[in-house]
Amino acid sequence: MGGTFDPIHHGHLVAASEVAHHFELDEVVFVPTGRPWQKAERVVSAPEDRYLMTVIATASNPRFSVSRVDVDRPGPTFTIDTLRDICRSYGPDTEIYFITGADALAHILGWRDADELFEIAHFVGCTRPGHPLQDPGLPQGKVSLIEIPALAISSSECRERVGAGEPIWYLVPDGIVQYINKRGLYRHGESPPETGR
């Protein structure tokens, strides 16, 4: 499951859990983007902060893990590179599903190397409150659409709430509230120092 995860929230976790159950997946690998080219218009938190938040949020689930492939690859993140790297580390016998939300799926044909994407992975589009699921023109049999219990939570709203001094308890896991506070993320006009590795 690819995402910016700035921050990761319960909408992401419920979607991952639901897709894993539906397709009987052995593992869900969360892959925080490096520098997402689709979000060039806003400042995205440091990859290391987004990676650590994703680790904190998924730590208690034995079937969830986090990959550094996108965080460690220099340059903007393209899904084709993510899938190639994940394929390489899990081996050719692994069946790969790429989990994404209805909003991202709508742009999928515009992604780099769209044809090859569909050869490497089966795509799973999740419903998401406020985003219609149907997208005409997606290749038959390569994309499954799945209904997720509606949680109208977005990372943007979480960031705005933190900036406005409003609580985000229960929208994100407790450890994420604490990490955001500890690092001073999303406070207007301040950028937190880079984390050391």
Residue ranges binding ligand ATP (CB under 6 A):
3-6, 11-12, 15, 100-101, 103-104, 126, 128, 148, 151, 153-156
- Rounded Cα distance between 16 and 72, Å, is 23
Judged by beta carbon, residue 6 or residue 49, the one nearer ligand ATP is: 6
Q: Which is nearer to ligand ATP, 82 or 155 (CB)?
A: 155
For 123-151, give one letter per residue: b (16+ CB within 10 A) or e.
Answer: bbbbbbeeeebeeeebeeeebeebebeeb
Which residue lies nearer to ligand ATP by CB, 130 or 139? 130
H or E element at residue 118: helix 114-120
The tokens 């993510």 sit on which residue?
82
Whose Cβ is closer to ligand ATP: residue 161's or residue 183's? 161
Residue 67 CB, nearest approach to ligand ATP (Å) = 14
Per the CB < 8 A criterion, the answer to whether 179 and 52 are in contact is: yes
Q: How far is the CB of 93 from ligand ATP (least distance, A)?
A: 27
CB of 95 to ligand ATP, least distance (A): 20
* Residue 2 to residue 131: CA distance in whole angstroms: 18
| Alpha carbons 112 and 109: distance in angstroms, whole number | 8
CB of 43 to ligand ATP, least distance (A): 11
